[in-house]
Structure 1
Amino acid sequence: MPQSHKCTSALNFVFFSLFFVLAILLTQPASAHFSEGTKVRTILVAEENGILVVYVRVPAPLVFSDLVGKAQVDQTPLESPFLRFEATGTGNRYRLNMSAIAQDTGSFETRLTEALVFSQAGLDLSAKIASFTVHMQRPQSGFNSLSAAKAAVAEPTPRLDPLFGQAMVDYVVHLNSQDPMGILSVHAGYDPLVPGPGVTIDNHLIDARISPPVSLTAPGQLETPVVIDGSPLSTFGHFVFQGALHILEGLDHVLLVIAMALGVGATRKLIYLVTAFTLGHSVTLIATFLGATPSWPWFIPAVEAAIAASVLYAAIAAMIQRSGSLLVFAGIGLLHGLGFSFVLGDILGRDAPDLVPALLAFNIGIELGQLAILAATLGIVFLMKHLAEPALRPVRLGALSGIAILSTWWIAERINGLVYSV
């Protein structure tokens, strides 16, 4: 086949691939780093007088996930003596039936006991509820230390029936363990439910059997077992993985790094830009957890819109071959650090017992993920330069154009969200 035909075929293949990828991306929501629909379940493990004790704070729907999941599949109403159906002018909803819970406490405690399964050495541990309470909504008080968990569970149950989707349940379970300080695993005892649009579920697990306590996070509904072993090293590795995972899952961060790499290539300038970006996001990631950011309702949507604008800037700068100054990319790093902190705030909590090592590990993970993106981008450029050099320029411009189009769409979407938050 003549060389010109090979180049034409390569170009057609590349342009088709770019169109296909862009079409997929445009069908996906512009994921923000903070979601008001994030639901957090906290599990704190302690040893008290030779007894393995677990304190749990859980959104009420997860206590009934088997029933919710069945109702979703069968398209039928929820059926439980502990739930009360309520018709309103704006739609139908459920409430926890506090009267029914008070009249049949034993059955409700059984449901709590079976919601999570704890195991050691491959054997499930028998469990007994020591006490529980219900909150109308997620309490402002923390649940990240043994003293805080004890205080939360001791609070009185509400007189009113809380909304099912907003209610939280705190409870204490005693496990029959021969080795209270041994490795513990936990997984869901009920089938998972299907979260609604924009709703994510995270689990914050704290091992308070050692001093200082260590924590880790796990996404989803614990369909697969998670190990709690009290190891600071494994916890550090866990947050390194979380940092790498969240930059790779954050499409706006990925596209920014790709635009930076395509803008200056494998040059010394790229090292300078990446360093400036890294310093910037490290500063705000740490500062946010020290309480240096405001709590205005419009602040997070404004940051998300600015992050999208920074991606557009990087794409345009790369297209016109103006890489941008170090100060500009340090400022962009400040914005993206806020975005990372919103994610870490959801999965870790700003009053976590091992906040400093978790912050350090998460930041290291971000850097590793960033290096992986750079390596992949520069590797593709290197291969194309040696195998299909005529296609390199149009492919580069096509990729940057796609990034610019997508980021423009994000800006419009996020500004719309910002308007509603003001």
Structure 2
Amino acid sequence: MTFLPAACFRVFQITALFLALAGLFALPANAHFTEGTKVRTLLVAEDNGTLTLYVRAPAPLVFSDLVGRAQVDQAPLVSPFLRLETTGTGVRYRLDMAAVDRDPEAFESRLQKTLIVSQAGLDLETVLTGFTIRARRPAQTLDTAASARAAIQLDNTSLDPAFGAAIIDYALQITSTDPAGVLEVRSGYPPLLPGPGVAIENHLVDARMDPPVSTTAPGQLETPAVIDGSRLSTFLHFVYQGMLHILEGLDHVLLVIALALGVGATRKLIYLVTAFTIGHSVTLIATFLGATPSWPWFIPLVEAAIAASVLYAAVAAMIQRSGSILVFSGIGLLHGLGFSFVLGDILGRDAPDLVLALLAFNLGIEVGQLLILAVTLIMVFVLEQLATPALRPARLGTLTAIAILSAWWVAERVGGVVSAV
């Protein structure tokens, strides 16, 4: 059946090519990791009916109201606890430890107001019970109540740490009539504007449970984050994160589309998708077990290889050479590394409930992958029923667009590898 004029056939190709060219300038070269990820950890613990919120925060988040105002006004950052210094490459701020020692009450007041804890819609009273300032993020993670208490007991750094690298550990005692109940935590200050390539993640640990329950929340907590101790909530959260990543990761989406267009709704599609799934599951888990190198050029190299795999899938589909199970197992290994970079940023490799998070994240990836396949195959089926002659140019146009965009990614990401060597 044919309901579309012949001129429409070319529209598919032109539109696809236009989208590819637009994507050259609109999409980032590195899609799976953010070297500027800043992590804030919030751990809730209970001791004899008393709740305590332990916080490990990058210093800029403690001054987010002042930083945000300075960014909007394009004016210097002004605080009695910050010192501006001039270096050979420009200016930077440092935390002034002498100023903190001179007026600890004012500094403690700022810390106490950074976060607002609520329960059943009512804000709870919080009291600062201690803090310590570090020059940089310590290797020891906050994953248990004991580790959080130990962190607060350490002395402040004796130097004036760089503002952007400094970490502040502090504890807020919470007055609650329901210590085991659901808590919500939100920011007490307006947000700052993260710079290019900077992302903010919050690791939420409910140490009222044994073992502790861990989840994550993005951003600066303008929207309250829920701490409820539910492993089911944690599982569903990471399923969602897995789905979100593959649906937002355009290179993963384009690879699956190219695979579907190259093989179609055949038994071989099941084999290749299964091979891809096994491959990315292996490297996703292996990375979290420490099986990948830490060379500075490794991540950019993986990113470039992922782009090359998308280019391969598009070209193979265009010439009707869909590839083998072995090839797509190898492609899965590459994409699993990309998935692991994301999960490493949003969760951390020392978090409680790591096995649960890995399984849920991987399941979310599979659900997202099946959604992409289903939508692609349904569109092919509908087009075949409504306008069979349009199917071939639409398919070639889409694959050409994928090839152009992935070739651009390869070139751009290889440049990243060269600069990292």
TM-score (norm 2): 0.96
Q: For residue 83 of structure 1, what is the amino acid of its counterpart?
A: L
Q: For residue 273 of structure 1, what is the amino acid of its counterpart?
A: L
In structure 1, C-alpha distance between the alignment counterparts of 2:59 and 2:368, rounded to whole Å: 35
Q: What SS class does the counterpart of residue 192 from structure 1 fall into?
A: coil
Higher relative contact order by CA 8 Å / sep ≥ 6: 1 or 2?
2
In structure 2, C-alpha distance between the alignment counterparts of 1:31 and 1:174, rounded to whole Å: 41
Contact 2:201 2:217 (C-alpha < 8 Å) held by counterparts: yes
Q: For residue 325 of structure 1, what is the amino acid of its counterpart?
A: S
Q: What SS class does the counterpart of residue 378 from structure 1 fall into?
A: helix
Q: For residue 118 of structure 2, what is the amino acid of its counterpart?
A: S
1:92 aligns with 2:85: no
Cα deviation code 1:94-133 (max 9, x no counterpart): 1111111111111111111111111001001111111111
Bigger shift: residues 400-409 or 240-249: 400-409
Cα deviation code 1:192-215 (max 9, x no counterpart): 111111111111101110111111
Match of 1:81 in 2: 80
Contact 1:31 1:250 (C-alpha < 8 Å) held by counterparts: no
Match of 1:39 in 2: 38
In structure 2, C-alpha distance between the alignment counterparts of 1:135 and 1:373, rounded to whole Å: 45
Match of 1:101 in 2: 100
Q: What SS class does the counterpart of residue 392 from structure 2 fall into?
A: helix
Match of 2:263 in 1: 264
Contact 1:205 1:215 (C-alpha < 8 Å) held by counterparts: yes
Q: Which runs of 5+ in 1 are unaligned?
A: none
CA offset at residue 22 of structure 1? 2.3
In structure 2, C-alpha distance between the alignment counterparts of 1:42 and 1:108, rounded to whole Å: 20
CA offset at residue 240 of structure 1? 0.6
Indicate how the Cα distance of structure 1 residues 131 and 364 shifts in structure 2: closer, same or farther if over 3 A, else same: same
Bigger shift: residues 31-40 or 273-282: 31-40
CA offset at residue 20 of structure 1? 4.2
Q: For residue 264 of structure 2, what is the amino acid of its counterpart?
A: G
Match of 1:168 in 2: 167
Q: For residue 11 of structure 1, what is the amino acid of its counterpart?
A: F
Q: For residue 277 of structure 1, what is the amino acid of its counterpart?
A: F
CA offset at residue 12 of structure 1? 5.0
Match of 2:124 in 1: 125
Which of residues 9, 12, 23 is equivalent to 1:11?
9
In structure 2, C-alpha distance between the alignment counterparts of 1:11 and 1:88, rounded to whole Å: 60
Counterparts in 2 of 1:6-405, with a 5 A limit?
A: 6-11=4-9, 13-26=11-24, 27-405=26-404
Contact 1:31 1:251 (C-alpha < 8 Å) held by counterparts: no
Aligned CA-pair RMSD = 1.4
Contact 1:42 1:143 (C-alpha < 8 Å) held by counterparts: yes
Q: For residue 7 of structure 1, what is the amino acid of its counterpart?
A: P
CA offset at residue 338 of structure 1? 1.0
TM-score (norm 1): 0.96
In structure 1, C-alpha distance between the alignment counterparts of 2:151 and 2:417, rounded to whole Å: 34
CA offset at residue 16 of structure 1? 4.7
Q: When the two structures are aligned, how many residues end up with a matched partner?
A: 419
Contact 2:13 2:398 (C-alpha < 8 Å) held by counterparts: no
In structure 1, C-alpha distance between the alignment counterparts of 2:308 and 2:383, rounded to whole Å: 29
In structure 1, C-alpha distance between the alignment counterparts of 2:193 and 2:212, rounded to whole Å: 32
Match of 2:420 in 1: 421
Indicate how the Cα distance of structure 1 residues 70 and 8 shifts in structure 2: closer, same or farther if over 3 A, else same: farther
In structure 1, C-alpha distance between the alignment counterparts of 2:396 and 2:133, rounded to whole Å: 56
CA offset at residue 17 of structure 1? 3.3
Q: What SS class does the counterpart of residue 44 from structure 2 fall into?
A: strand
Q: For residue 379 of structure 2, what is the amino acid of its counterpart?
A: I
Q: What SS class does the counterpart of residue 218 from structure 1 fall into?
A: strand
Q: Which runs of 5+ in 2 are unaligned?
A: none
In structure 2, C-alpha distance between the alignment counterparts of 1:17 and 1:65, rounded to whole Å: 43
Indicate how the Cα distance of structure 1 residues 351 and 312 shifts in structure 2: closer, same or farther if over 3 A, else same: same
Bigger shift: residues 387-396 or 93-102: 387-396
Cα deviation code 1:305-352 (max 9, x no counterpart): 111111111111111110100000001101111111111111111111
Cα deviation code 1:347-399 (max 9, x no counterpart): 11111111111111111000001011111111111111122222221121111
Q: What SS class does the counterpart of residue 202 from structure 1 fall into?
A: strand
In structure 2, C-alpha distance between the alignment counterparts of 1:322 and 1:20, rounded to whole Å: 26
In structure 1, C-alpha distance between the alignment counterparts of 2:224 and 2:387, rounded to whole Å: 47
Q: For residue 336 of structure 2, what is the amino acid of its counterpart?
A: G
Q: What SS class does the counterpart of residue 176 from structure 2 fall into?
A: coil
Q: What SS class does the counterpart of residue 279 from structure 2 fall into?
A: helix
